[in-house]
Each structure stands twice: as C-alpha cells, then as structure tokens.
Amino acid sequence: MQAELVLGSASATQIEQLADLMRGKRTAVLTGAGISTDSGIPDYRGAGAPVRTPMTVQEFLRDEGRRKRYWAGSHLGWRHFGSAQPNSGHRTLSQLEAAGLVSGVVTQNVDGLHTRAGSRKVVELHGSMDTVSCLDCGQVFARQSVAEQLERANPWLDTEGAVRLAPDGDADVDEIDSFVLPVCTVCGGRLKPDVVFFGELVPSSKFALAAALVASSDLLLIVGSSLAVNSGIRLMEQARRRRLPIVVVNRGTTKGDSRAAHKLDAGASETLTAIAERLLH
C-alpha cells in the first residue's frame, strides 16, 4: 500500500485517524534517535546533524589508538548521557503500555530512556551503554565501575566540561596520546561497552525478541527512525508480510516510507502526546 504522506506537524484530523487506528489494538513500537532529541541527545541524520563517521567494530578490535579514542570520547559522552531525562514521548509510551495499548518497545537507542520512563517491555536492539564486557574472558561489569577505573587512571579528563555529544553516547576528544585504557579486572583483557558497533550484527537472540514482539501485535508504529539501519527495515518487512498496518512518524523521509500505510512528517514527542490524549481520555 502506498504511504499517505503528511508534511509538517500532524493535523488534528490525522491524529484522530491514527488514534482510531490504534484504538482496541496492541501496538508494537520501534523507536530511533528521533525520540530522544527532545531529551538533548542529537540524532545522526536529522536536519542540521553534523556529518559523523562512527567507529566500526573492526577498527575498535585491531587498533589500540582507535580504542583509546573511542573510550576517551565514550567516557565523557556517557557521563553527560546519564544526565539526560526521559521526555514526554518516552513517558507517553510508558503510559500507553500500562493501559494495554502498547505491547512493548523495540528501540535502536542505547540511552536507556525508555526504561527510565517506566516502560516495562523494552528490547534494546543495539544494546545499552550501562554495561561493559570483557572481549577475552566474557566478564560483565557495570559501566559505573569501569568509569571509576578510567577516572583514576586519567585524572586529567574533564568530565564536567562541555562536550560535543553524539547519539550513541560518544563525544569528540582531541587529546588521546596519554589516555590509559580500562582493562578487565579479572583477566586484564580488552573491554567493550555492550552496544552494537557499526559493522557488527545485532545478536540473533535480541532480534528474535524484537520479531516476536512484532508478531504478537496488531500494528507497528515506527517513531523517530530513518530506518537507515538494516535491523529496523527487517522488522518493518516482517510486519508487512503479516499484513499489519504500519505507521511511520519521523521528521524527514525514511527508507520505509513506501511500505507504510501512513507516514507523518512530524515530531515524535508532540505526535505521541497528541495520540495518547485521545486514547487515554
């Protein structure tokens, strides 16, 4: 079915139509970086977003200098990432889940804001910044403990200063030559945050959870994602094959616009809040 393209903010009529579509159905929600921009976390591809070349997993594994650059930036970014608060879009999805209208959230974000907003069924498709694993022995650590190790070894790092934050919690750092990498306190091995890097596959078990959530729902709502990452398109295709209605809410075009029954070129938080006002009251 060709998408109904709506430009600008959604009108009251379009909000009513989407609310009617969701009413009485269990909706699976797929979210991307666009839902967290109102929390002060930038996205990769929105209007005005700077051009970035994220580090690939291959670079991280083979080059100690690249690992230093990643860990220095990731540490500063994570400290500021943690101060971000859930916005009305995150809270609205939590409320809709509590009311039985949302069956769960699959998110491409690693910021943890859906869980902090109160959503109970969340599949973090690309992992979470809150834990770190040893690549050599498999030991898992809380991010806070690794952060404390980093700060002891690198007291010159300015964790309170301004940083240029990226959507994945990374930040730009200019000086890395003297940076001391964190190590596994069990075996002394290499550490990596539990997030999916570019060039790395989403764990099959994690994708299976996301696919099962979509399969058990009556509708797929995609919010704040350009669907440029393959995992999002795969979930959308599963919904299409099951003949589920698909709604896309995103500022700007997405790779899935032609497969959606409805496309709204609108902000995530404002649209979700308006829909919930009609569904919950």
Residue 226 corresponds to which tokens in the numbers above?
Answer: 């350009």
CA distance 124 to 110: 7
The DSSP output letter for 129 is E
Domain count, the chain: 1
190 three-class SS: strand
pLDDT tens digit sequence for 141-190: 999 999 999 999 998 876 555 445 555 555 556 667 789 999 999 999 99
List, as residue ranges, the binding site for Zn(2+).
134, 137, 184, 187
Tell me which of 168 and 200 has the higher pLDDT.
Answer: 200
Containing domain of residue 252, as a range?
4-280
Catalytic residue (one of 75, 80, 114, 126): 126
Query: Rounded to a whole number, what is the largest CA-CA distance in the chain?
Result: 60
CA distances from 137 to 71, 141, 148, 200 (A): 19, 12, 21, 19
Least confident of 4-8, 38-42, 115-119, 206-210: 4-8
| The pLDDT of residue 82 | 74
The string of DSSP letters for the chain reads ---EEE-SSPPHHHHHHHHHHHTTSPEEEEE-GGGTGGGT---SSSTTPPP--PPBHHHHHH-HHHHHHHHHHHHHHHHHHTT----HHHHHHHHHHHTTSEEEEEES--S-HHHHHT-SSEEETTEEEEEEEETTT--EEEHHHHHHHHHHH-TT--SSS---B-TTS-B--S--TTPPPPB-TTT--BEEEEEPPBT-PPPHHHHHHHHHHHHT-SEEEEES----SHHHHHHHHHHHHTT--EEEE-SS--TTGGG-SEEE-S-HHHHHHHHHHHHH-
Average pLDDT, the chain: 88
What percent of the chain has pLDDT above 70?
Answer: 86
Res 60: pLDDT: 95
pLDDT at position 145 is 96
Dihedral, CA atoms, 82, 273, 123, 265, nearest 10 degrees?
-100
75 is catalytic: no
Q: Residues annotated as binding site? A: 134, 137, 184, 187
Lowest mean pLDDT among 9-23, 75-89, 105-119, 168-182: 168-182
Q: Answer whether residue 128 shows pLDDT above 60.
A: yes
Whichever domain contains 40, its CATH number is 3.40.50.1220
**Phi then psi dihedrals of residue 164, to 5 deg:** -95, 95
